[in-house]
Amino acid sequence: MAADLLASGYDSPLLREAAGASPSDPREARGLFIAALQELRVWLEDEAQARLRQAALLAGSFNRGEMSLESLVSALMNLWELDDVMYDGVAEPAARLAWLAWAHGDHLYERNGGAEALRREAKIVAAFADGEQ
């Protein structure tokens, strides 16, 4: 997204740094991007809504077959800390999807619908990005 903004004519030192950030560290990349938006004085929604939109984009990629279930789970776990999931720190409609990601591999995951439930929740969250809230 930072590279897209640069190509659209926006420019700042932090935006250039964010555009070159390593995709292997999504937390650092997100932090740089948020700092760049603030440097540019671009409107930024609250963090919970920003994470919800990111989850919706990830869920859409998963639903289109562009990412595996394991990749989705990993990305969601990078998006939210376990404390966020346990203590109402995840905006709806993504709370159940985040919980399933953190429960993945645990007996509670299968007891709560497993991969089928995760796919169902991914469709619900992806619809958020499509404006079907």
> Tens digits of per-residue pLDDT, 55-89?
998 999 999 999 999 999 999 999 999 999 999 88
Separation between Cα atoms, residue 112 and residue 83, nearest integer Å: 20
User: What integer pLDDT is reported at residue 15 of this predicted model?
Assistant: 87
Q: What is the mean pLDDT of residues 31-55?
A: 80
Q: What is the CA radius of gyration of the chain?
A: 16
Q: Kindly report the pTM of this predicted structure.
A: 0.66
User: What integer pLDDT is reported at residue 33 of this predicted model?
Assistant: 82
Q: What is the mean pLDDT of residues 104-132?
A: 90
Domain ranges of the chain: 2-39, 47-129
Give the type of residue at 67: M
Select the more confidently predicted residue: 25 or 11: 11
Highest averaged pLDDT of the listed ranges 20-24, 26-30, 105-109? 105-109
Q: Exposed, middle or buried by CB within 10 Å (0-12, 13-18, 19+), for 45? A: exposed
Residue by residue, DSSP assigns 43-85 as ----HHHHHHHHHHHHHHHHHTTSS-HHHHHHHHHHHS-HHHH
User: What integer pLDDT is reported at residue 130 of this predicted model?
Assistant: 65
Total residue length of the chain: 133
Tokens matching residue 67: 């990412």
